[in-house]
């Protein structure tokens, strides 16, 4: 039995610049943190005593005889990608509902691949997990997703991520004094709006308008620089709230599906009660909202939003982890060739290269071990 635990994330600045349609032509950047709300995937080999070969448990139960029979797209394509031929039992549980803007689908993809690799006796690097999850979601499932969620789920922590036109993906930890990080976290309030939505559909509309939104997306990317400079300085922390408010208004302008009158009303109510800024997480349209609230005003803001669910959180520092490891014997497994070999040195098959903290490209994924 193998159990993986993979965090979801909250993205502070730069969301939207991690879509390939943007960063293949322009540099993209985000500030993002993984949080202590998790997706759990358990898997094991299923003994051959049943009238089915595999059992997949999530919001429904599937009893199937082969990967092609599986309805769950990520599980089906994940098993096929790793060439898993043996019968397996896979079960999914989560601290957070799906389709709510915290990157849970990418956390699922990372956690699933992590569990399956481990079941077969392999220990992938964090970067390999992220790149394989990107390949699974973008190339095999054809989902309208960016690349920040998979990186956040695999690496954990509070990071600046950069995305370059040559396909290079860069993950750089944001280094802050402990007191400054606590101050930031003390000002962040996560609430669930109660609306779930199909992020891929909303993202598709935003992606379609990207070529005509260069000014807005450039401004959103530049806010990453400004927010990081502010956090790493002695400026009052309230500056981050003002920047979040600016970023939210830019994000709303990208597509008319990102917000709606109900969401706008909730945001203005929070602002009237003392929030300095905030945003809907993910593609928009509903899900979770992140608010920037001075601690002295938190009670008043939450009272004003009493119909919403408040979700306290802390920073996750470890990224995807194997939290239970009881290996079993196995057969009939062909370990896939390293994805970099299919696209040339330092690149994944979908064109993403790797970059370490000093800005130099590397031709292997081994450097990612430093982030483990």
Between 226 and 332, the more confident residue is 226
Going by pLDDT thresholds of 50, 70 and 90, the confidence category of residue 317 is very high
Residues 135 and 26 placed together within one structural domain of the fold: yes
Q: What radius of gyration do the chain's Cα atoms show?
A: 20
Of the three residues 291, 310, 329, the one that is the final residue of a domain is 310
Residues 162 and 182 placed together within one structural domain of the fold: no
Q: What percent of the chain has pLDDT over 70?
A: 84
Residues 164 and 290 placed together within one structural domain of the fold: no
Residues 123 and 18 placed together within one structural domain of the fold: yes
Task: Determine the average pLDDT of the residues in 338-348.
Answer: 39
Q: In which element (H, E) is residue 226 found?
A: helix 214-231
Whether the pLDDT of residue 203 is over 80: the answer is no
Residues 241 and 126 placed together within one structural domain of the fold: no
**What pLDDT does residue 297 have?**
98
Of the three residues 310, 340, 362, the one that is the final residue of a domain is 310
Predicted confidence (pLDDT) per residue in 273-314, tens digit: 999 999 999 766 678 999 999 999 999 999 999 989 999 999
**What pLDDT does residue 48 have?**
86
Predicted confidence (pLDDT) per residue in 37-95, tens digit: 999 999 999 988 899 999 999 999 999 999 999 999 999 999 999 999 899 999 999 99
What whole-number distance in Å separates Cα of residue 290 and Cα of residue 11? 9
Of the three residues 310, 343, 361, the one that is the final residue of a domain is 310
What is the pTM assigned to this prediction? 0.87
Contact (Cβ atoms closer than 8 angstroms) between residue 101 and residue 146: no
**Helix or strand or coil: residue 176?**
coil
Going by pLDDT thresholds of 50, 70 and 90, the confidence category of residue 329 is low
Residues 259 and 297 placed together within one structural domain of the fold: yes
Going by pLDDT thresholds of 50, 70 and 90, the confidence category of residue 259 is confident
> Cβ neighbours of residue 10 under 8 Å, at least 6 residues apart?
32, 33, 35, 102, 188, 190, 281, 288, 290, 313
Predicted confidence (pLDDT) per residue in 112-151, tens digit: 999 999 999 999 999 999 999 999 999 999 999 999 999 9
Residues 264 and 138 placed together within one structural domain of the fold: no
Residues 253 and 357 placed together within one structural domain of the fold: no
**What pLDDT does residue 65 have?**
94
* 201-227 exposure pattern, b = at least 16 Cβ within 10 A, e = fewer: ebbebbbeebeebeebbeebbebbebb
Residues 228 and 290 placed together within one structural domain of the fold: yes
Note down the domain range covering 71.
Answer: 2-174+317-371
Residues 159 and 54 placed together within one structural domain of the fold: yes
What whole-number distance in Å separates Cα of residue 41 and Cα of residue 113? 9
Instruction: Give whole-number Cα distances, 132 to 54, 59, 247, 276, 346, in Å.
Output: 23, 24, 30, 38, 14
Predicted confidence (pLDDT) per residue in 2-27, tens digit: 999 999 999 999 999 999 999 999 99
Whether the pLDDT of residue 160 is over 60: the answer is yes
Residues 234 and 151 placed together within one structural domain of the fold: no
What is the maximum span of the chain, computed from C-alpha positions, in angstroms? 65
Q: Which two tokens stand for residue 207?
A: 């992606």
**What pLDDT does residue 212 have?**
73
Q: Which CATH number do you get for residue 31?
A: 3.30.230.10
Task: Determine the average pLDDT of the residues in 231-243.
Answer: 97
Task: Please report the sign of the dihedral spanned by the C-alpha atoms of residue 146, residue 207, residue 10, residue 72.
Answer: negative
Residues 197 and 268 placed together within one structural domain of the fold: yes
* Domains in the chain, number: 2
Whether the pLDDT of residue 339 is over 90: the answer is no
Whether the pLDDT of residue 181 is over 50: the answer is yes
Predicted confidence (pLDDT) per residue in 346-368, tens digit: 344 445 555 544 444 433 333 33
Q: Which CATH number do you get for residue 194?
A: 3.30.70.890
């Amino acid at each position: 039995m193998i159990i993986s635990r993979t965090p979801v994330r909250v993205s502070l600045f730069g969301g939207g610049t991690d879509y390939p349609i943007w960063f293949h032509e322009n540099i993209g950047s985000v500030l993002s943190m993984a949080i202590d709300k998790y997706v759990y995937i358990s898997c094991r080999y299923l003994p051959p005593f049943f009238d089915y070969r595999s059992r997949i448990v999530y919001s429904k139960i599937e009893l199937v005889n082969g990967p092609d029979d599986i309805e769950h797209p990520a599980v089906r394509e994940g098993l096929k990608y790793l060439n898993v031929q043996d019968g397996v039992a896979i079960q999914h549980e989560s601290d957070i509902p799906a389709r709510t803007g915290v990157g849970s689908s990418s956390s699922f993809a990372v956690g699933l691949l992590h569990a399956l690799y481990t079941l077969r006796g392999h220990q992938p690097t964090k970067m390999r997990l992220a790149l394989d999850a990107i390949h699974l979601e973008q190339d095999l499932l054809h989902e309208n997703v960016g690349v920040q969620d998979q990186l956040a789920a695999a690496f954990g922590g509070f990071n600046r991520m950069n995305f370059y036109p040559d396909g290079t993906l860069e993950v750089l930890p944001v280094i802050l004094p402990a007191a400054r990080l606590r101050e930031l976290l003390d000002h962040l309030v996560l609430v669930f709006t109660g609306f779930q939505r199909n992020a891929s559909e909303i993202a598709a509309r935003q992606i379609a308008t990207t070529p005509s939104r260069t000014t807005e997306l450039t401004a959103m990317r530049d806010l990453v620089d400004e927010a990081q400079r502010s956090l790493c300085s002695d400026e009052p922390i309230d500056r981050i709230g003002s920047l979040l408010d600016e970023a939210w208004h830019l994000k709303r302008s990208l597509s008319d599906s990102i917000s709606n009158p109900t969401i706008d009303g909730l945001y203005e109510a929070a602002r009237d009660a003392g929030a300095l800024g905030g945003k809907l997480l993910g593609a928009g349209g509903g899900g979770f909202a992140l608010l920037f609230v001075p601690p002295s005003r938190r009670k008043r803001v939450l009272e004003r939003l009493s119909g919403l669910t408040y979700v306290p959180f802390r920073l996750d520092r470890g990224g995807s982890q194997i939290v239970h490891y009881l290996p079993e014997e196995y057969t009939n497994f062909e370990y896939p060739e390293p994805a970099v070999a299919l696209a040339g040195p330092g690149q994944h098959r979908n064109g993403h290269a790797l970059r370490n903290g000093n800005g130099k490209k590397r031709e292997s994924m081994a450097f990612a071990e430093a982030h483990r």
